[in-house]
Amino acid sequence: MRITIQTKNIIPKVFLYCIATLPAVALLWQQNVLFFKLNWILYPFIIFAILFSISLRGRAPSVFYTFLGIFLLYSVYLIMMPTDWESIFRIFIALLPLTFIRVIQQNHDYTSYRIFWLLYFITICLPLVIAYLQYTERMPYYEYDAVNGETFGRISGGYNKPNNFISFLFPLYLFGFYRWQIQGKKIQGLFLIFFVLSVVYATGLRTAAIVFLSIFVSSFAFTKSSQLIYLYYKYYLNFFVGFLALLIIYFIFINAGFIDALRGRVPMWQAHANAFFNSSWYEALFGKGVVLLDKKYEGMKIIGSLSEVHNNTFRTLITFGLVGYFLYCSFMRWIVFHVFTSTGNARLRHIRLSCFIFLLLYSITNEPAYYSSVLWSILLWIFPVWEKKELMDAPVRNGHDDR
């Protein structure tokens, strides 16, 4: 069978169109058909696109086979552990399409730019309307946080967690920078940026507001910001900082006991850090396969949940150990290198690398790698969702070269 350009574009188009519908599909988080969650409905389409493309091309990127081999080897080990297979499946599906980032970028024809963003704007309107109705108290909040045993809600846009709503707003936020700094539509771009910031402020999530404002401030030093992100990953600081953070949490625990902070996050981290550093050597190296505290913590209000850790780094260290966490960090490092070296335009490079600013800060109290809809939304701009391929190398339209 002859492989045409249209056929080679099957992964880019299917994957990007699936992401464009995520804000609407993710609203189905409460709906189930037998044992299948309806918000997983896009997974079969993405997997089919990958398998169909491989069958036509006769091969896949080498990183795909490496990724698949590592997961198969880990699965053999995890069979012997009390593994949470749903979490393993989640991170596998979330990371799998990222192995095709080079294929997607090379084969994308950019003709779907307007269709993609039209679809995204339509689907993001649904949670925005729900958020407005929640803000005006015409729709109920979902019980989200608990303080001293009393639960209270936050604006969530209809999702089970307001942080999911925040992640779906992020591509829209970066689109504002694209309109402003790349396409020269300053008023439109700034309007979109400040609209998203106002919605984030209305949710009451201070951490999210800090993340969005950090990216806004970094845009005024876009070249330096991009270099700092590149160097952070180049020297494996994503690995060392993550492990050091868990170690510091552990030392605080053994010296000061539980410290109730960040709405119960810190004592939860302390309990998991204590369990990690008192586990067997093979569990520390290769993981436990599941996030689950000892039953001695059951009933302690300060801990909250035995099966939650609310930190992407700590969850990966606990589930996959030091070796697995290093492999995860190396994979993310590979993606950052690709984005940095393949983007000639400095402003577009900053927009793309801003995904990792958001990912790093968002991961402090969340676990995006285990929720594909969240991870794909955060990293959307590493994929070609702009107007022309030439923008990868061409200067912006402001009269001077930003390369």
Sign of the C-alpha dihedral, residues 185, 186, 187, 192? positive
Q: Does 29 reside within a domain?
A: yes
Does 66 map to a domain? Answer: yes
Report which of 202, 134, 217, 135 is spatially closest to residue 169, judged by C-alpha positions: 202
Q: What is the crossing angle of helices 312-342 and 237-256, to 10°?
A: 160
* Position 316 in a domain: no
Instruction: Please check whether residue 172 lies inside any domain of the structure.
Output: yes
What total of structural domains would you count in the chain?
A: 1
User: pLDDT 10s digit of each residue in the chain, 403 long?
Assistant: 444 445 566 777 888 899 999 999 999 887 887 667 788 888 888 888 888 777 777 778 899 999 999 999 999 999 999 999 989 999 999 999 999 998 888 877 777 788 999 999 999 999 999 999 988 888 877 655 544 555 556 788 988 888 899 999 999 999 999 999 999 999 999 999 999 999 999 988 888 999 999 999 999 999 999 999 999 999 999 999 999 999 999 999 999 988 987 777 899 999 999 999 999 999 999 999 999 998 888 878 788 788 889 999 999 999 999 999 999 999 999 999 999 999 989 999 999 999 999 999 999 999 999 999 999 999 999 999 988 766 666 544 443 334 4
Query: Structural domain of residue 168, as residue ranges?
Result: 5-236+324-392
d(CA 231, CA 221): 16
Report the alpha-carbon distance of residue 83 to residue 271 in Å, rounded.
Answer: 19
Domain-located, residue 298: no
Quick one: which of 142, 333, 148, 141 has its CA closest to 231?
Answer: 333
Nearest to 356 by CA among 373, 334, 371, 387: 334
Is residue 253 domain-resident? Answer: no
- Amino acid letter at 96? L
Asked if the structure places residue 125 within a domain, the reply is yes
The predicted pLDDT at position 394 comes to 54
**Spatial separation of the C-alpha atoms in residues 84 and 290, rounded to whole Å:** 5
Is 263 a domain residue? no
Rounded distance, CA 31 to CA 108, Å?
34
Query: Who contacts 369 (Cβ-Cβ below 8 Å, separation ≥6)?
Result: 91, 94, 95, 312, 316, 328, 363, 375
